[in-house]
């Protein structure tokens, strides 16, 4: 069995590669290492995992890597809010053109299933909680817009060309190997680096806002189940299905707290309706947030090279966020 994972050296991608190898798959990884890390895959032998460095948005001659591939998992793309506001063109090239190139390459061969990693950011500030897949699409920034537009590409290829695809809208994912790069972003990466450095955990607003977190191990199980299923042309929320306050996350991680101004364009509540994926794919999350955080605390050394964000640094990093999204 051969599978191909774009973005396979990244946080979610490398965990998926581990899972596929355990299931007996040979895996080709396509990654430009802009955020992915070779160290995430160093434990794999060349016989089971082949790593190719390339940029999907600029390299059109990628179809040769899709020959004899059964499953394609398209996880590659640029993330993060602030950089997408500062350099929207890069996000359109990476997330839209990159996805189109992957779709066209996969279409040349009779792959069994194409799984697209979409984002719950497409919902913006949702009108209803829990949020169903049918909720109104309201992207608030270029990252969210490009991820949703790429999803539209994938679904269009299904409708017109019978492309065997499923789109999974990931909610807030956490777990081992989450990104430690210099971009200010996901709450877990920020908090864990601060905890390791014995610095206050910077909480946005009053900390009572909620998020729906899913452990990467649960997410990988959902991705694999989607690949094996007979479903095509479907869109699913993938989340823990429970909301938890950011204050509670900070308390579970431990340490002092520092409250900073609330950012515009962010929802006060985030909670996915996951009834559709539970029913169609017979999947449900298993890892409790308390257990997941306990495991991360035991692996705290992973964040030793991550930037430690202070309120002053965050203010500078999010200046354009406030400037542009404050008008939305």
Assess whether pLDDT exceeds 70 at residue 180.
no
Rounded Cα gap, residues 281 and 230, in angstroms: 9
H/E run at residue 144: helix 142-161
Q: Are residues 138 and 82 in the same domain?
A: yes
For residue 166, list its beta bridge partners.
115, 234
Q: Are residues 147 and 82 in the same domain?
A: yes
Q: Are residues 50 and 157 in the same domain?
A: yes
pLDDT tens digits along 242-270: 999 999 999 999 999 999 999 888 899 99
pLDDT at 192: 94
Residue 284 maps to a domain: no
H/E run at residue 168: strand 165-170
Terminal Cα-to-Cα distance of the chain (whole angstroms) = 47
Judge contact between 81 and 186, C-beta under 8 A: no
Q: DSSP for 275-327?
A: HHHHHHH-------HHHHHHHHHHTGGGGTTS----HHHHHHHTHHHHHHHTT
Q: Are residues 139 and 190 in the same domain?
A: no
pLDDT at 325: 86
Q: Are residues 154 and 16 in the same domain?
A: yes
pLDDT at 48: 95
Q: Are residues 144 and 205 in the same domain?
A: no
pLDDT at 185: 67
Which band of pLDDT confidence, cut at 50, 70 and 90, is reported for residue 184?
Answer: low
Assess whether pLDDT exceeds 80 at residue 328.
no
Residue 231 maps to a domain: yes
pLDDT at 47: 86
Q: Are residues 63 and 131 in the same domain?
A: yes
Judge contact between 227 and 5, C-beta under 8 A: no
143 is a catalytic site residue? yes
Answer with the one of 238, 253, 277 that is the final residue of a domain. 238
Q: Are residues 146 and 98 in the same domain?
A: yes
Catalytic residue (one of 123, 143, 174, 184)? 143
Mean pLDDT of 88-97: 96
Q: Are residues 122 and 183 in the same domain?
A: no
Work out the percent of the chain whose per-residue pLDDT is above 70.
97
pLDDT, mean over the chain = 94
Closest CA relative to residue 324, chosen from 82, 80, 124, 78: 82
Q: CATH number for the domain including 95?
A: 3.40.50.720
pLDDT at 121: 96
Q: Are residues 130 and 231 in the same domain?
A: yes
Dihedral angle of Cα 274, 278, 279, 280, to the nearest 10 degrees: 100
The reply to whether omega before 130 is within 30° of 0 (cis) is yes
Residue 282 maps to a domain: no
pLDDT tens digits along 279-325: 999 999 999 999 999 999 999 998 888 889 999 999 998 998 898 88
pLDDT at 182: 59
Tally of residues, the chain: 328
pTM for the whole structure: 0.96
Q: Are residues 295 and 161 in the same domain?
A: no
Mean pLDDT of 234-247: 97
Which band of pLDDT confidence, cut at 50, 70 and 90, is reported for residue 181?
Answer: low
pLDDT at 114: 98
pLDDT at 58: 85
Residue 50 maps to a domain: yes
Residue 283 maps to a domain: no
Mean pLDDT of 146-161: 98
Residue 275 maps to a domain: no
Residue 77 maps to a domain: yes
Closest CA relative to residue 309, chosen from 208, 206, 200: 200
106 burial via Cβ count (<10 Å: 0-12, 13-18, 19+):
buried
The whole domain housing 297 covers 177-212+243-269+290-325
Which band of pLDDT confidence, cut at 50, 70 and 90, is reported for residue 183?
Answer: low
pLDDT tens digits along 112-121: 999 999 999 9
Q: Are residues 190 and 107 in the same domain?
A: no
pLDDT tens digits along 28-83: 999 999 989 999 999 997 889 999 999 999 877 899 999 999 999 999 999 989 89
Closest CA relative to residue 252, chosen from 312, 313, 211: 211
pLDDT at 17: 98
pLDDT at 179: 75
Q: DSSP for 250-276?
A: HHHH-S-EEEEPPPTT--S---B--HH
Q: Which residues of 16-38 are buried (b: 16+ CB within 10 A; e: fewer)?
A: bbbbbbeeebbbbbbbbeebbbe
Give the count of domains, the chain.
2
pLDDT tens digits along 138-153: 999 999 999 999 999 9
């Amino acid at each position: 069995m051969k599978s191909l994972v774009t973005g396979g050296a990244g946080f979610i991608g490398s965990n998926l590669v581990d899972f596929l190898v355990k299931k007996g798959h040979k895996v080709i990884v396509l990654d430009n290492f802009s955020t992915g890390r070779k160290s995430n895959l160093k434990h794999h032998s060349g016989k089971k995992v082949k790593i190719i460095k390339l940029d999907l948005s600029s390299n059109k001659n990628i179809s040769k890597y899709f020959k004899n591939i059964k499953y394609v998992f398209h996880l590659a793309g640029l993330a993060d809010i602030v950089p997408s506001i500062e350099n929207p063109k890069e996000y359109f090239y990476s997330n839209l053109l990159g996805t189109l190139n992957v779709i066209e390459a996969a279409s040349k061969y009779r792959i069994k299933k194409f799984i697209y990693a979409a984002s719950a950011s497409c919902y913006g500030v949702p009108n209803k909680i829990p949020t169903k897949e049918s909720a109104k699409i309201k992207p608030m920034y270029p990252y969210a817009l490009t991820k949703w537009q790429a999803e539209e590409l994938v679904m269009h290829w299904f409708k017109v060309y019978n492309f065997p695809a499923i789109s999974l809208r990931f909610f807030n994912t956490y777990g081992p190997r989450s990104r430690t790069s210099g971009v200010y972003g996901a709450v877990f990466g920020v908090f864990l680096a601060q905890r390791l450095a014995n610095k206050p955990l910077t909480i946005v607003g009053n900390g009572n806002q909620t998020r729906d977190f899913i452990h990467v191990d649960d997410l990988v199980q959902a991705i694999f189940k989607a690949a094996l299923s007979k479903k095509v042309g479907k869109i699913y929320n993938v989340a823990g299905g429970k909301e938890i306050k950011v204050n509670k996350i900070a308390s579970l991680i431990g340490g002092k707290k520092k409250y900073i101004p609330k950012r515009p364009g962010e929802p006060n509540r985030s909670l996915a309706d996951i009834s559709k994926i539970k029913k169609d794919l017979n999947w449900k999350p298993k890892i409790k947030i308390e257990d997941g955080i306990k495991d991360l605390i035991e692996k705290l050394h992973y964040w030793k090279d991550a930037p430690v964000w202070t309120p002053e640094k965050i203010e500078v990093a999010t200046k354009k966020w406030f400037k542009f999204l404050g008008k939305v």
